């Protein structure tokens, strides 16, 4: 068992591949299960934030496009449509468990500007006071190279640092960090704990990717570096594992834990 201290605040990031079917369409059962588990954490007295991918995938489905757009304007348009439909789904499923949600769209300049960062932090604090779960995504519709986070893994780490989270959980379609790519190497071994992000660790994450997601293991390791630098513990775990969030906060040794030796 991992020896977590009392967890007051937790940020959960879920990737596109963990919200969709293999064909890229949204998987309602997965979204429902996520809403139930997050609402249950909130009912335990925690402050919960969800950083959700999937806006562009939702937009692609809503627009009946044959594939994800490649050009920036197409991606931003798909995100604009998808954000609305994705939030409707979240509101529907969270309401089934008596939980209110709010949408927060961020760009990197918010974190880099002291006044904007403070305003964002105050908004999170007020939502926590209202017992609302903030659902965060990058503002893809207006993001440019100069102000984009680049991926929701790093965005979630910045959010965790901003709100003083005790734990960041990255849910993906893989069990954690492996010594080599488990889809290519049957002898790949799961690494259960990482206490420092070294060049060797970063190299383990290069080259991995998911079918419909934007990030991969490498971006998750960059997120771990940000989180650990802010004193936030982090876990990478498989979103398909039953009751994965409750098991993590209860201290079960699943996935890969990034943090100090306990």
Q: How far is CA 69 from CA 60, 164, 219, in A?
A: 8, 36, 22
Residue 3 falls within a domain, yes or no?
A: no
Query: Which CATH number belongs to the domain containing residue 132 in this structure?
Result: 3.40.1160.10
Is 220 within the bounds of a domain? yes
Is 256:177 a contact under the CB 8 Å cutoff? yes
> Domain for residue 1, yes or no?
no
Q: Does residue 145 lie within any of the structural domains?
A: yes
CB 177 within 8 A of CB 190: yes
247: in domain: yes
Give pLDDT tens digits for 102-124: 999 888 888 888 999 999 999 99
Range name among 21-25, 49-53, 235-239 with the lowest pLDDT average: 21-25
pTM listed for this prediction? 0.91
Residue 50 lies in a domain: yes
> Looking at the domain assignment, is residue 143 inside a domain?
yes
The residue range of the domain holding 81 is: 9-258
Q: Return the pLDDT at 208.
A: 53
Task: Tell me what percent of the residues of the chain surpass a pLDDT of 70.
Answer: 90
What is the average pLDDT score of the chain?
88
Query: pLDDT class for 212, splitting at 50, 70, 90?
Result: very low
Report how many domains make up the chain.
1
The region of weakest confidence among 8-22, 181-195, 210-224 is: 210-224
Residue by residue, DSSP assigns 114-164 as HHHHHHHHHHHHHHHHTT-EEEEEE-TTT--TTT--SSHHHHHHHHHHHHT
Which helix (H) or strand (E) segment is 257 a member of?
strand 256-258
Q: What is the mean pLDDT of residues 230-240?
A: 95
If pLDDT is split at 50, 70 and 90, which confidence band does 73 have? confident
Among 70-84, 92-106, 184-198, 240-254, which is the least confidently predicted range? 70-84
Strands 233-238 and 167-172: parallel
pLDDT band at 211 (very low <50, low <70, confident <90, very high): very low
Helix (H, G, I), strand (E, B) or coil at 231: coil
Q: Is residue 2 part of a domain?
A: no
* Residue 236: HSE in the Cβ half-sphere, 13 Å Cα cutoff: 29
């Amino acid at each position: 068992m991992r020896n977590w201290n009392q967890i007051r605040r937790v940020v959960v990031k879920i990737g596109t591949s963990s919200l969709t079917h293999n064909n890229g369409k949204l998987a309602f059962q997965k979204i429902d299960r996520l809403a139930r588990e997050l609402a249950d954490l909130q009912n335990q007295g925690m402050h919960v934030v969800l950083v959700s991918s999937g806006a562009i995938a939702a937009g692609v489905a809503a627009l009946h496009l044959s594939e994800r757009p490649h050009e920036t304007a197409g991606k931003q348009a798909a995100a604009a449509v998808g954000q609305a439909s994705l939030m409707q789904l979240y509101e529907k499923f969270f309401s089934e468990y008596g939980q209110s949600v709010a949408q927060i769209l961020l760009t990197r300049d918010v974190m880099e500007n002291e006044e904007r960062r403070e305003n964002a932090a105050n908004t999170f604090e007020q939502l926590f006071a209202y017992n609302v779960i903030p659902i965060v995504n990058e503002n893809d519709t207006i993001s440019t190279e100069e102000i984009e986070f680049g991926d929701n893994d790093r965005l979630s780490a910045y959010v965790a640092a901003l709100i003083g989270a005790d734990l960041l959980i990255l849910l993906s379609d893989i069990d954690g960090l492996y010594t080599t790519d488990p889809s290519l190497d049957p002898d790949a071994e799961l690494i259960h704990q990482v206490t420092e992000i070294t060049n060797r660790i970063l190299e383990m994450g290069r080259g991995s990717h998911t079918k419909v997601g934007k990030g991969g293991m490498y971006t998750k390791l960059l997120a771990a570096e940000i989180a650990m630098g802010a004193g936030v513990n982090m876990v990478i775990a498989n979103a398909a594992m039953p009751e994965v969030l409750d098991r993590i906060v209860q201290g079960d040794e699943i996935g890969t834990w990034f943090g100090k030796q306990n």
